[in-house]
């Protein structure tokens, strides 16, 4: 009997995840024989869940909230982009060792630049939030050489702390939400507000008719952030494109083949 290589998305909760559907389409397209599941891990049982997957011919896993920092600590080897992010969303299991990577940032950049045809080079970018989601995409964002990146957060101290971590990059600064008073070319919502149907306390002045507004949360309807941005700009994007593109990067890390993401968009977001 053929024993298939196993993969999974591990989270708490995880039932909402579209990752199994995405990876099933990738596998069919590239003729890879794999099994990909959702694994719900107790809050105190992440490591045990990973160990069980490894014992059952597991070859890798995607990690979602709230385990990305724990996955970072669990990894025996870390990629440079995982180190920069301080979090891991992609685990690979090789010779009983756990290797950690982070594909969120490269996935976001690929969605903005390639799928949405929005240049980051020389642009003025506002990054809302200073938690793990923001940290995870900051280094890949800076590698695209924007004119500047402003980190804004409800807690100004956290924004300053994150900006200081990337202080070698002169293009990074921090402000509080209350200090925002200019329009940006790109505004990325990396706060968790969308998960609770809430809205970051930002002024409408950060948008103009040319602004590209992206919410890292994905949903069937516009998030409060995107509804707010739509008052000024028509160029809107939720986090589904980032989800697909980071999944494609994970698939490449595991299988050595890069799938065609446009086929996935055509099926799941026609």
Catalytic residues: 68
| Cα gap 112→120, rounded to integer Å | 8
- Name the residue among 113, 184, 172, 114 with its Cα closest to residue 139: 172
Which strands, in side-by-side order, build the sheet including 90-94? 34-40, 5-11, 58-63, 90-94, 97-101, 77-78
Element spanning 235, H or E? strand 235-237
DSSP-based three-state secondary structure for 189:
strand
- How many C-beta atoms lie closer than 10 Å to residue 89's C-beta? 29
CA 194, CA 188: separation in Å to the nearest integer?
Answer: 12
**56 vs 220: CA distance, rounded Å:** 34
Distance in angstroms (rounded) separating the CA atoms of residues 93 and 97: 6
């Amino acid at each position: 009997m053929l024993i298939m290589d196993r993969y999974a998305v591990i989270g708490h909760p995880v039932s909402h995840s579209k990752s199994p559907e995405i990876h099933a389409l990738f596998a069919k397209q590239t003729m890879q024989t794999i099994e990909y599941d959702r694994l719900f891990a107790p809050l105190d049982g992440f490591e045990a869940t990973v160990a069980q997957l490894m014992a059952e011919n597991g070859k890798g896993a995607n990690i979602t909230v709230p385990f990305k920092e724990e996955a970072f600590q669990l990894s025996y080897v870390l990629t440079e982009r995982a180190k920069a992010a301080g979090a891991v969303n992609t685990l690979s299991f090789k010779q009983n060792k756990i290797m950690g990577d982070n594909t969120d940032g490269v996935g976001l950049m690929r969605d903005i630049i390639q799928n949405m045809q929005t240049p980051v080079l020389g642009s003025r970018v506002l990054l809302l939030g200073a938690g793990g989601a923001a940290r995870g995409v900051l280094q890949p964002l800076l590698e695209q050489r924007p004119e500047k990146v402003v980190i804004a957060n409800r807690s100004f101290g956290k924004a300053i702390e994150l900006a200081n971590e990337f202080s070698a990059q002169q293009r990074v600064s921090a402000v509080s939400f209350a200090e925002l008073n200019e329009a940006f070319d790109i505004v990325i919502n990396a706060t968790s507000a969308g998960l609770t149907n809430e809205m970051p306390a930002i002024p409408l002045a950060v948008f103009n008719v040319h602004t590209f507004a992206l919410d890292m949360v994905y949903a069937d309807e516009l998030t409060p952030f995107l509804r707010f941005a739509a008052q000024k700009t028509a160029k809107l994007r939720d986090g589904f494109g980032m989800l697909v593109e980071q999944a494609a990067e994970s698939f490449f890390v595991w299988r050595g083949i890069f799938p065609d993401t446009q086929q996935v968009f055509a099926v799941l977001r026609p």
